[in-house]
Structure 1
Amino acid sequence: MSSNQSFHALVRLLRYARGYRRRIAAAATCSIVNKLFDIAPEILIGVAIDVVVNQEDSFVAGLGFTTAREQILVLGVLTFFIWAGESLFEYLYQILWRNLAQRLQADLRQDAYEHVQRLDMGFFESRSSGQLVATMNDDVNQLERFLDGGANAMIQVGVTVVAVGAVFFVLSPLIALLAFTPIPLIVWGAFYFQRKAGPLYGEVRERVGELASRLSNNIAGIATIKSFTAERREAERLRAASEAYVEANVRAIRLSSAFIPIIRMAILAGFLATFMVGGMMALRGDLNVGAYGVLVFLTQRLLWPLTGLAQVIDLFERAMASTRRILDLLATPIRVRDNAETSLTQPVRGTVTFENLSFRYATGGAGIEGIDLEVPAGHTLALVGATGSGKSTLIKLLLRFHDPDAGLIRIDDQRIDTLSLNSLRGAIGLVSQEVYLFEGSVRDNIVYGRPDAPQAAIIEAARTAEAWDFIQALPNGLDTLVGERGVRLSGGQRQRLSLARALLKDPPILVLDEATSAVDNETEAAIQRSLSRIARGRTVIVIAHRLSTIVHADEIVVIHAGRVVERGSHETLLEENGRYAAQWRVQTGVLESAMPLV
């Protein structure tokens, strides 16, 4: 990342943090005052030398303190208050900067997460979850580390140059020029380092995301890794990702480590100039001895903090690389807009209409074309077809995970793109093939869509989903912990809990997306028994590969290559002897002249 990009990232960050301007100003003020107090003791040392050498003719004597004892006493009192002031403002700036860092990083992470939740599913289909976690966690932490110490250091370096420079030019313009001679070299070196280090730290952030993604994917897929005895192979792939991260850091460290030795020599040149030329001037009487002491002490105070520019810019570059990633994430456009002011008219009857609906995924050619369907309220529609034919795409569009390229969807004659997402999705219960259970108890997962549900309603939903018997057999019943992603339960148990979760929500429209494709025969039979009870009084849309589960649907629609190719009841489609009939024969054991459907 170039210096312009770093500056642009800083401007974007300040724009984002406009609500913190008072806190930033207060923290910066404390940093400035602390540094002014920090510089003062060196000046007092020079004044004290002046008192010892010149006594009644000293600078302090001119303020009305005639005796050397009074002058030393005054300097002692000033020293006490200066040290106390320095300590007080150091405490204040540390409290302010660190609290600001904590508050800002927490808000950034929260805002990023809330923004990500509002993005359409296409965003998640094109992004690695590990990259997202790295951005919302590690990148935010990089910014926190900079605000914890780097921001204060940058301010104090600037204050040191200005304040010490002012003292130098008051005492001796010639020595000031000599002392400041190395500063252009130091600043040039700092910006040269920044320009070279920016891309390196951008690469470091990318490698962190890849490493996080690898770890996340491998932990999620540990069962597959074990089943294929691929532990060693995956360990080597992780090692490669880890080594790539190390190498990216090594390149950045190699550059930053060369900065301090070079700058140290520039500082030596400035110090020697002050030491030698100032000493000669003091010997000739052209420079007060006390002033010479102040200049010698302040030369190091002026130049030495500049060596810290390497670490400060190191922190700054890491933070700005991270800030750019965070703010780019926050700037990702929300394509599915939430019309929060409009809700479905109550009570929701559940009529669903797809009108000339077309959609294509940006990442591939799959999708649907010209779909026209109507599901009357209280009816059951079954969608069947080959994998990738577009069945699940219809459901994603109904839930507005994506918006269609053409056409529209209505619920009870209301266009869903004019509704609030909360109202729309609140009317739809989804039971997916890929069941996701959250870490927590069985109860936590069932009540996920209705947290305030009473015990009786929870039990009734579990009974309807034929889950209550196995729940009672668990060690702690409803309070049994399911583990991460429900790992402590069987696939059939997870599917039944998912169904109970949807039923407790009591939606007028229920969607079953391949809900029985990955379960055993017993679970399939249980879900089939449930369907007759579940369907009463609600609209049900079923996507199924097992045709035996949808023979009683009011209408069965066969989708092929994104288009409706057959539709009708089970008996009607068998009589037509098309794709549906061919697949029915395959699944019931009559294999002759079977036309593949799935």
Structure 2
Amino acid sequence: MAAAPPPRLAEAHPLVRLWRHATAFRRRIVMGVVSSVLNKLFDIAPELLIGVAIDVVVRTDDSFVAQIFGVRDREDQLLVLAAITAVAWILESISQYVAERIWRGLSQDLQHGLRMDAYRHVQDLDLAWFEDRASGRLLTILNDDVNQLERFLDVGADKIVVTITNVVAVGAVFVAISPMLALMAFLPIPVIVGGSLLFQRRLAPRYREVRERAGRVGGLIGGNLGGIATIKAFGAEQREAERVSRASIAYADANRHAIVLSSAFVPLIRMAILTGFVLTLVLGGHAALNGDLEIGLYSVLVFMTQRLLWPLTYLGETLDLYQRGVASIRRILDLLDTPIVIRPGARELPDGSPGAVRFAAVDFSYRDAIGGDGDGERPGGSAVRTTVLRGLDLDVPAGETHAIVGATGAGKSTLVKLLLRLYDPDAGTVAIDGIPVGELSLRSLRGAIGYVGQDTFLFDGTVAENLRYGAPDAPDDALRRAAELAEADGFVQALPHGYDTPVGERGVKLSGGQRQRLTIARAIVRDPAILVLDEATSAVDNETEAAIQRSLLRVSHERTTIVIAHRLSTIRHADRIHVLHEGVVAEAGTHEQLVELGGRYAALWAVQTGEVATTG
């Protein structure tokens, strides 16, 4: 199982972790911050100029403009102010355009980059990791959480930068004009900041719960859509609708629980703002009336009080975006921090590899999580091992067809998973042509194997696209040859558009036997050194089974073939049959030898043929 992320990363703030991860985007993040800061500085300039304009009217030729620019005429002074104001507005508009372009572009590119990083990482995780998790929750992270991050970067990040810049810049103006009034104006800010921190701490767990319950809803809906035929067959539509409804209501309740707290934030902020504004208005007015403060400066402070405190009313909305974004960032980066257990080797199989397979003293156990969070290896839970293979030895010489049989749970499919390195053995070696599979690159290893499973998975595309899945550059004649070998060409040619006919999601437009023949053809198109058939005829009728048997005899010729089967009639002609029992090869030989032996294989054969046999 995957271990927990390193403590240092797990304890770091999600935004710090995002900064560490997004190295390619750091320059653009800095540019976005700089643009937002400049935009806010240009935005507050008009309030300063209003005070300067009042100063022109009150002090005439002794005004600030007259002293700086040497312009004595009041009309000319106003024209100077008008020009400066126009420049400030133009620069503010330009900087806003630049900031929005940067942040919105960054939000799109970063969310795409994170989604693809997460998706590629997930593809590299071992199969056991997927078996412990609902696919719907994983989809929630790759879709909903990434989209939430996009929204935060698009809107929330800019608002945070602008708010901080506003407080610092306006505060500097207050301190320069009147330290006493600066103190009065800033009096509510500790209350606002303290309240924000309190709200943040209380909102964080609520939004984590929101994301978790969103994952639960996604998992249920995804699972039900995948099993819609079973739901209909059992008449369970209403029951499943009620299950989804309960999960959806739980999600809505979690959201309401968070909204109750976040909605109370703005009204409380407004009361604090009112206090600061009234203090500035009264105390500043008193100083202006007594001649201790210039009228123009008093006007600046009144306007600046609004500018300082009023944007903080949006702090609740910004905090809401922040908390949702942080919760999503944490889940995305936790996924990215999941260790990759199956690491590829560096060796390559030579061209024309004969494909001899050997299992030597292989031990393997599945780990089942009990308690905790479902990860088995994490605190709060324990891992229980289910031993499947015990010192197993099995040889498949190159070019031969070997079958593996045994009772359910004997470990037949586990051998295939070990050969494909979907798992690594606990002990022993799995090798191809004498090279341990752990030393091979995954591309070379899996490129040498054509796999056909009992789950006939086809992608939503055309017949040709599915046949080319393992060999994207395969020519049309190669597809037809493979289809002919798999006895699929006949029905494909009869489809409305032949090889260009869409098969639907998971191949729903085809019958089970047609899907199975196409998966065999798909494996043949790769021309693999090793062909693996895992219960390839378990879900087809007798006629289709007979057709598949004929095709298997053709495609396995001079190719290493491993067949896992319950139907013993499909493997009668195998060069050697291995019978698994309790994690080891209990019997091995040809069909005739094993029947004559009168052991476990003979008993299985008797059951399937209706004969009577005595187990040896």
Q: TM-score range by the shorter chain?
A: over 0.9
Q: What residue in structure 1 maps to residue 597 of structure 2?
A: 576
Q: Does 2:46 align with 1:25?
A: no
Q: Does 2:573 align with 1:552?
A: yes
Q: What residue in structure 2 maps to residue 333 of structure 1?
A: 339
Distance in 1 (alpha carbons) for counterparts of 2:249 and 2:184: 47
Distance in 1 (alpha carbons) for counterparts of 2:612 and 2:16: 68
Call closer, same or farther: CA 1:275–1:7 in 2, change over 3 Å: farther
Code of the residue aligned with 1:572 in structure 2: it is Q
Q: How does 1:492-503 map to 2 (within 5 A)?
A: 492-503=513-524
Code of the residue aligned with 2:347 in structure 1: it is T
Q: What residue in structure 1 maps to residue 290 of structure 2?
A: 284
Q: Does 2:493 align with 1:487?
A: no
Code of the residue aligned with 2:257 in structure 1: it is R
Quote the offset at 1:6 in angstroms: 9.0
Q: What residue in structure 2 maps to residue 263 of structure 1?
A: 269
Distance in 2 (alpha carbons) for counterparts of 1:156 and 1:487: 53
Distance in 1 (alpha carbons) for counterparts of 2:333 and 2:437: 31
Quote the offset at 1:593 in angstroms: 5.2
Q: What residue in structure 2 maps to residue 430 of structure 1?
A: 451
Residue of structure 1 aligned with 2:240, choices 230, 234, 241: 234
Distance in 1 (alpha carbons) for counterparts of 2:472 and 2:463: 13
Distance in 2 (alpha carbons) for counterparts of 1:388 and 1:37: 72
Contact 2:360–2:394 (CA under 8 A) maintained in structure 1: yes
Code of the residue aligned with 2:94 in structure 1: it is L
Residue of structure 2 aligned with 1:38, choices 34, 43, 59: 43
SS in 1 for 2:22: helix
Contact 1:585–1:594 (CA under 8 A) maintained in structure 2: no
Distance in 1 (alpha carbons) for counterparts of 2:293 and 2:325: 46
Q: What residue in structure 2 maps to residue 358 of structure 1?
A: 363
Distance in 2 (alpha carbons) for counterparts of 1:103 and 1:480: 35
Q: How does 1:37-116 map to 2 (within 5 A)?
A: 37-63=42-68, 64-116=70-122
Q: Once the two structures are superposed, what CA deviation does each residue of 1:347-392 show, in whole Å capped at 9, x if it has no partner? A: 2011101000011011151421111011100111111011111000
Distance in 1 (alpha carbons) for counterparts of 2:231 and 2:484: 36
Contact 1:343–1:419 (CA under 8 A) maintained in structure 2: yes
Residue of structure 1 aligned with 2:255, choices 245, 249, 262: 249
SS in 2 for 1:215: helix
Residue of structure 2 aligned with 1:412, choices 433, 451, 465: 433
Code of the residue aligned with 1:162 in structure 2: it is V
Q: Once the two structures are superposed, what CA deviation does each residue of 1:71-108 show, in whole Å capped at 9, x if it has no partner? A: 10011001111111111010000000000010000000
Contact 1:6–1:317 (CA under 8 A) maintained in structure 2: no
Code of the residue aligned with 1:76 in structure 2: it is A
Q: What residue in structure 1 maps to residue 377 of structure 2?
A: none
TM-score by length of 1: 0.97
Indicate the RMSD between aligned Cα atoms, in angstroms: 1.3
Quote the offset at 1:26 in angstroms: 1.0
Contact 1:271–1:299 (CA under 8 A) maintained in structure 2: yes
Code of the residue aligned with 2:125 in structure 1: it is L
Quote the offset at 1:346 in angstroms: 2.6
Unaligned runs of 5+ residues in structure 1 are none
Contact 2:467–2:522 (CA under 8 A) maintained in structure 1: yes
Q: Once the two structures are superposed, what CA deviation does each residue of 1:452-496 show, in whole Å capped at 9, x if it has no partner? A: 111111101000000011101111110111000000000000000
Quote the offset at 1:589 in angstroms: 1.3
TM-score by length of 2: 0.94
SS in 2 for 1:404: coil
Distance in 1 (alpha carbons) for counterparts of 2:301 and 2:73: 25
Distance in 1 (alpha carbons) for counterparts of 2:499 and 2:583: 42
Contact 1:214–1:238 (CA under 8 A) maintained in structure 2: yes
Q: What residue in structure 1 maps to residue 379 of structure 2?
A: none
Quote the offset at 1:128 in angstroms: 1.1
Distance in 1 (alpha carbons) for counterparts of 2:327 and 2:12: 11
Q: What residue in structure 1 maps to residue 413 of structure 2?
A: 392
SS in 2 for 1:383: strand
Quote the offset at 1:5 in angstroms: 7.9
Quote the offset at 1:7 in angstroms: 6.2
Call closer, same or farther: CA 1:277–1:304 in 2, change over 3 Å: same
Distance in 2 (alpha carbons) for counterparts of 1:260 and 1:591: 82
Code of the residue aligned with 2:178 in structure 1: it is S
Aligned length: 591
Code of the residue aligned with 1:349 in structure 2: it is P
SS in 1 for 2:527: coil
Quote the offset at 1:66 in angstroms: 0.9
Code of the residue aligned with 1:62 in structure 2: it is Q
SS in 2 for 1:60: helix
Q: What residue in structure 2 maps to residue 529 of structure 1?
A: 550
Contact 2:598–2:613 (CA under 8 A) maintained in structure 1: no
Quote the offset at 1:229 in angstroms: 0.8
Q: Once the two structures are superposed, what CA deviation does each residue of 1:523-582 show, in whole Å capped at 9, x if it has no partner? A: 100111112211111100000000000011111111122222111111111112111111
Distance in 2 (alpha carbons) for counterparts of 1:531 and 1:34: 70
Distance in 1 (alpha carbons) for counterparts of 2:12 and 2:522: 49
Residue of structure 1 aligned with 2:395, choices 371, 374, 377: 374
SS in 2 for 1:152: helix
SS in 1 for 2:352: coil
